[in-house]
């Protein structure tokens, strides 16, 4: 078993989420930075879709009743004992302490065999919007472990350097015609606000101007959408975004840039670059 | 039908009958399609990474729609105790009596146009035009599961307890949403619904 000694600001169980239920109003959910969870799983010989832990701003401590292989990826932070982006073995009784990340927001912990909690609609992910899946972790929680399927073959994984002011690629639409122009999006940097969470990244910066009045009839929205409420400031939808929304989406992030958006921290600056439609 | 891009892995198709297009897209059975999400006037189709959206968009734009998206048979019957907190307000707004509000609400046959807001929350079309009332100015912080409500052109049944600004007409004991059941939602896009007044 793994005992949560401390959860830090927010720690949740995440896998690759609940695809296939969006028509019932079920958010996709899953790891906000999917490639980081997948990497952590590969490092310990798990299927990429095994459940791991998503730590928000680190700060957690985990006690391992039995010896375990674990890997830590995503937002870089001090791990004692251990190291980032490489599998390591923790002996029985060890308490692994996670510090605060020096950049980024979300750190992933994979345990060889995967974290075993009861799946809901095929996923073990905590969805902070709908409440599906296990509640966020708190001190005293005990988590089971499953059985590993593959061997451990990688010593250390190369990862990209943290970005101070990322430039995220966006494609216009589907509702760019609701705005005078998308030019404000690329005019200057936006600043990430403290209201950001797994549902979305909220931004301060140049506001978009509506070209038309009225309300958009609710429609389906994808992860990475830049939804623009009446104040004109875009919200980047992350894993727990609602399946449908009533504000127009001016542009959508390139799918590969969604995990980078999921590592944006409050106060950090971010820019957008328009690519072809 | 107009087909719009929603990023590099999804298409948004505009249609007047979203639940029928939803059924037609599902019937294609294409493995690269991940989610098919009807909205009020659109269907969003999300795909696996690397899917070529050009040919898929051409296919979706010309897709023939079925006459109906429901498999036929009986509509879902929802027993309702009409004792909602907003019955008097709705009567006042519409100029009807409480009894007339209930009568009109229970007389219509509804179709689930789409789901959203929360898991299992269906937007029911078919509401009597006299009952089209705006949402409450100030939403309630908690509306109990099973609340039968109306807002704008739609009816709904709250599948779980949540904040909400719709006008409450009554309540049902029918369990609309249960993640341990397959399917978890009694309402699907295209499901027909009738309400039956109970004492």
Q: Are B40 and A217 in contact (CB under 8 A)?
A: yes
Q: Are A253 and A46 in contact (CB under 8 A)?
A: no
Tell me whether A88 touches chain B (CB under 8 Å).
Answer: no
- Chain segment B85-112, per-residue pLDDT in tens: 999 999 999 999 999 999 999 999 999 9
**Which A positions 115-154 lie with beta carbon below 8 A of chain B?**
120-121, 130-132
User: What is the Cα–Cα distance from A148 to A114, expressed in whole angstroms?
Assistant: 7
Q: Which CATH architecture is the domain B76-198 placed in?
A: Beta Barrel (2.40)
Contact A23 B184 (CB under 8 A): no
Contact A23 B39 (CB under 8 A): no
Q: How far is A56 from chain B (nearest CA, A)?
A: 24
User: What is the Cα–Cα distance from A127 to B180, expressed in whole angstroms?
Assistant: 16
Q: How many C-beta atoms surround the C-beta of residue B65 within 10 A?
A: 17
Closest by Cα among A60, A37, A183 to A110: A37
Q: What tokens does A149 get? A: 């399927």
- Reduced to 3 states, what is the DSSP secondary structure of residue B171? strand
Tokens 């930075």, located at residue:
A33
User: What is the Cα–Cα distance from B1 to B62, expressed in whole angstroms?
Assistant: 7
Percent of chain B clearing pLDDT 70 (strictly above): 97
User: What is the Cα–Cα distance from A276 to A262, expressed in whole angstroms?
Assistant: 23
Q: Are A216 and A246 in contact (CB under 8 A)?
A: yes
Q: Is the pLDDT of residue B69 over 60?
A: no
Q: Is the pLDDT of residue A268 over 90?
A: yes
A189 contacts: CB under 8 Å, gap ≥ 6: A165, A205, A269, A270, A271
- Chain segment A111-137, per-residue pLDDT in tens: 999 999 999 999 999 999 999 999 999
Q: How far is B6 from chain A (nearest CA, A)?
A: 5
- Kindly list the distances between the CA atom of residue A125 and the CA atoms of A28, A261, B32, in Å, as whole numbers in the listed order: 9, 19, 23
Query: Facing residues of A69 across strands?
Result: A89
ipTM of this complex: 0.94
Closest by Cα among A151, A179, A61 to A109: A61
Closest by Cα among A47, A154, A260, A19 to B49: A19
- Chain segment B25-43, per-residue pLDDT in tens: 999 999 999 999 999 999 9
| pLDDT, position B74 | 85
Q: How far is B185 from chain A (nearest CA, A)?
A: 7
Q: Is the pLDDT of residue A64 over 60?
A: yes
User: What is the Cα–Cα distance from A198 to A11, expressed in whole angstroms?
Assistant: 12
Contact B119 A24 (CB under 8 A): yes
- Chain segment B145-182, per-residue pLDDT in tens: 999 999 999 999 999 999 999 999 999 999 999 999 99
* CA geometry: angle A87, A93, A97, nearest 5 deg: 60
Q: Is the pLDDT of residue B133 over 60?
A: yes
Q: Which residue of A has its CA nearest to B16?
A: A217
Q: What tokens does A116 get? A: 């075993």
- pTM, two decimals, is 0.94
Q: What is the secondary structure of A182-214 as a DSSP string?
A: SHHHHHS-EEE-TT--SSEEEEESPPP-BSS-S
* Res. A173 pLDDT band, cuts 50 70 90: confident
Which uninterrupted H or E stretch holds A37? helix A34-43
Q: Is the pLDDT of residue B142 over 70?
A: yes
Give the distance between the most distant pair of CA atoms in chain B: 57
A110 contacts: CB under 8 Å, gap ≥ 6: A37, A40, A41, A43, A44, A46, A50, A52, A70, A71, A73
Q: Any idea where the domains of chain B sit in the sequence?
A: 2-61, 76-198
Q: Are A126 and A13 in contact (CB under 8 A)?
A: yes
B chain contacts of residue A257, beta-carbon cutoff 8 Å: none
Percent of chain B clearing pLDDT 90 (strictly above): 90
Q: Is the pLDDT of residue B199 over 90?
A: no
Q: Which residues of B make CB contacts under 8 Å with A?
A: 4-10, 12, 22, 34-44, 46, 49, 114-121, 123, 160, 179, 183-185, 188-189
Looking at residues A249-259, what average pLDDT do you find?
A: 97
Question: Is the N-terminal amide bond of A81 cis, ω within 30° of 0?
Answer: yes
* CA geometry: angle A200, A202, A203, nearest 5 deg: 145
Q: Is the pLDDT of residue A185 over 90?
A: yes
Out of B5, B8, B179, closest to residue A132 by CB: B179
| pLDDT, position A277 | 56
Contact A24 B22 (CB under 8 A): no
- Which of A120, A216, A244, A245 to mutate to test binding with chain B, by most B CBs within 10 Å of its CB? A244
Q: How far is A175 from chain B (nearest CA, A)?
A: 9
Buried b (16+ CB within 10 A) or exposed e, A207-234: ebeeeeeeebebbbbbbbbbbbeeeebb
User: What is the Cα–Cα distance from A221 to A243, expressed in whole angstroms?
Assistant: 6
Q: Which fold has domain B2-61?
A: Gyrase A; domain 2 (3.30.1360)
Q: Are A90 and A82 in contact (CB under 8 A)?
A: yes
| pLDDT, position B1 | 86
Contact B40 A19 (CB under 8 A): no
Q: Which residue of A has its CA nearest to B152?
A: A217
Looking at residues A222-248, what average pLDDT do you find?
A: 96
């Amino acid at each position: 078993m793994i005992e949560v000694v401390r959860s830090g600001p927010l720690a949740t169980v995440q896998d690759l989420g609940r695809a296939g239920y969006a028509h019932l109003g079920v958010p996709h959910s899953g790891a906000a930075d999917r490639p980081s969870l997948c990497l952590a799983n590969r490092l310990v010989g798990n299927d990429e879709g095994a459940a791991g832990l998503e730590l928000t701003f680190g700060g957690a401590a985990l006690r391992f009743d039995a010896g375990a292989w674990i890997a830590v990826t995503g937002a870089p932070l001090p791990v004692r004992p251990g190291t980032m982006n490489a599998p390591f073995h923790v002996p029985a009784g060890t308490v692994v302490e996670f510090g605060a990340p020096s950049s980024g927001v979300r750190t992933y912990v994979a345990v060889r065999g995967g974290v075993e909690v009861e799946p809901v609609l095929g996923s073990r992910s905590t969805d902070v919007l709908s409440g599906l899946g296990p509640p966020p972790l708190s001190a005293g929680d005990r988590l089971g472990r499953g059985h590993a399927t593959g061997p451990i073959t990688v010593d250390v994984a190369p990862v990209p350097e943290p970005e101070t002011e990322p430039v995220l690629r966006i494609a216009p639409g589907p509702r760019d015609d609701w705005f005078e122009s998308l030019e404000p999006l690329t005019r200057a940097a936006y600043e990430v606000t403290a209201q950001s969470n797994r549902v979305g990244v909220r931004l301060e910066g140049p506001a978009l101007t509506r070209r038309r009045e009225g309300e958009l009839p609710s429609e389906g929205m994808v992860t990475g959408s830049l939804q623009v409420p009446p104040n004109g400031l875009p919200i980047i939808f992350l894993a727990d975004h609602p399946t449908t929304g009533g504000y127009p989406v001016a542009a959508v992030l390139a799918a590969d840039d969604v995990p980078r958006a999921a590592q944006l921290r409050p106060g950090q600056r971010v820019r957008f670059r328009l690519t072809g439609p | 039908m107009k087909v719009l891009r929603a990023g590099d892995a999804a298409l948004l198709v505009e249609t007047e009958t979203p639940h029928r297009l939803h059924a037609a897209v599902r019937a294609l059975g294409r493995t690269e399609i991940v989610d098919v999400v009807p909205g009020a006037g659109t269907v969003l189709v999300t795909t696996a990474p690397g899917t070529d959206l050009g040919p898929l968009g051409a296919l979706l734009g010309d897709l023939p729609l079925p006459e109906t998206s429901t498999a036929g048979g009986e509509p879902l019957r929802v027993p309702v105790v009409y004792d909602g907190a907003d019955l008097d307000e709705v009567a006042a707004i519409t100029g009807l009596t409480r009894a007339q509000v209930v009568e009109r609400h229970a007389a219509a046959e509804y179709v689930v146009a789409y789901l959203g807001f929360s898991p299992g929350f269906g937007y029911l079309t078919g509401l009597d035009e006299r009952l089209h009332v705006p949402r409450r100015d100030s939403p309630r912080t908690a509306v109990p599961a099973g609340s039968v409500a109306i807002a704008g052109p739609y009816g709904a049944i709250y599948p779980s307890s949540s904040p909400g600004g719709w006008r409450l007409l009554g309540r049902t004991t029918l369990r609309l949403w249960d993640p341990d059941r397959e399917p978890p939602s009694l309402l699907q896009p295209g499901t027909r619904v009738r309400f039956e007044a109970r004492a």
